[in-house]
Amino acid sequence: MVTYLAKRARRILAGTRVDSIEVRIFPGYISFENDTRPVWWKDNLAPDTWGPVLGVHENEPGSRVGAFVVTELGLGVFGEGSDPTWLPYESIIEWGPLSKDPISRSLHIRTKSGEHVKLLFPRGGAFAFVQFLGNAQWARKPPPF
């Protein structure tokens, strides 16, 4: 069964732009719906506690520095070190600021614990990723009724 969040990842992160079926919104996003994986990927990089992996966003092809893993429960952000920072969607309380001119190449996230994490988007796409984050947070919250 494909989950709501997996559908959103497919549409927003693995999708193409409205004006071109050839130009992807996130050229660095590798969906795990098929057998393609980054060259550096090993299944033990994402513990079971992260939930099912939907895909990985690479900033530089073939490098995990600055890459992040997109899962059903949150994001695993790789920095310069070997251990990723785990960001459950429920812990994210704000993001921004974003700019259209010049286009934002990063997204700053703040968590409930006060931690600040920077996601890099060297080819753009921060605005679309915020749309995905909003969907992810909505999917993790219980209905209000």
CATH number for the domain spanning 47: value is 2.30.29.30
pLDDT at 144: 56
pLDDT at 91: 92
Number of domains in the chain: 1
Percent of the chain at pLDDT exceeding 90: 42
107-117 average pLDDT score: 93
In a domain, 32, yes or no: yes
In a domain, 67, yes or no: yes
pLDDT at 1: 60
pLDDT tens digits along 96-107: 888 888 888 899
110-121 average pLDDT score: 92
In a domain, 128, yes or no: yes
In a domain, 77, yes or no: yes
62-69 average pLDDT score: 92
pLDDT at 143: 54
| SS3 readout for the chain | CCCHHHHHHHHHHCCECCCCCCCECCCCEEECCCCCCCCCCCHHHCCHHHCCEEEEECCCCCCCCCCEEEECCEEEECCCCCCCEEEEHHHEEEECCCCECCECCEEEEEECCCCEEEEECCCCCHHHHHHHHHHHHHHHCCCCC
pLDDT at 92: 92
Decide if 5 contacts 29 (C-beta within 8 A).
no
Entry pTM: 0.87
Residues 90, 115, 6, 120: what is their CA dihedral angle, to the nearest 10 degrees? 160
In a domain, 145, yes or no: no
Which residue range forms the structural domain that includes residue 49? 4-140
